[in-house]
Amino acid sequence: MKTLTLLVITLAIFTPAYASDTSKEAPVEHLVIPDVTSIDEATLIFIEKTSELKSKKKLDENELHQIHIITYTLEKSIEYFALNLASEQQYLSKKIANVVEDIHLNSENNRKEETQQQLQKYFLLAEQLAPELQ
């Protein structure tokens, strides 16, 4: 039990939490997803996860949970773009990263309307980035 308590305290202290630029909320890191290591992998994840997000129409509690889980992998893809693309694509990727973070936080907290608004922003930005990745 001491070991578990020590582990929890250590994780709480040393696990980095990133806040959204707009909401200033810190997400809870429920999943640890490996980093994306290539443009091909990042692009595939981006396309697949965007498609999954587009399939969510009801935005009930179950779908909001699914969206929350999707954002973990999507964030890694967008992070790769933000670090490795150039100029306008990099700037656009950073804008998308902020929106994905807002989607993550809103879906995690079952905020249907806010999630829907951020998804619409995401889809508009994603449409701008997608042709650049081909």
Q: Are 67 and 53 in contact, with CB atoms under 8 Å apart?
A: yes
Residue pLDDT, tens place only, 33-42? 888 899 999 9
**Contact call for residues 119 and 101 (beta carbons, < 8 A):** no
Q: Does residue 119 register a pLDDT over 90?
A: yes
How far is Cα 110 from Cα 79, in angstroms, rounded to an integer?
24
Three-state secondary structure of 36-70: CCCHHHHHHHHHHHHHHHHCCCCCCHHHHHHHHHH
Residue 133 DSSP label: G
Whole-structure pTM value? 0.76
pLDDT tens, residue by residue, 82-96: 999 998 999 999 999
Split at pLDDT 50, 70, 90, the class of 110 is very high
Type of residue numbered 55: S
Q: What is the percentage of the chain residues whose pLDDT exceeds 90?
A: 68
More confident residue, 74 or 19: 74
pLDDT tier, 134 (very low <50, low <70, confident <90, very high otherwise): confident
Residue 130 is predicted with a pLDDT of 87
- Whether 11 shows a pLDDT value over 90: the answer reads no
List of domains in the chain: 2-133 (1.20.120)
Contact indicator for 97, 36 with CB cutoff of 8 Å: no
Cα atoms in the 13 Å half-sphere on the side-chain side of 103 = 32
CA 53 to chain centre: 11
At 59-78, the pLDDT tens digits run: 999 999 999 999 999 999 99
Q: d(Cα 91, Cα 2) in Å, to the nearest integer?
A: 46
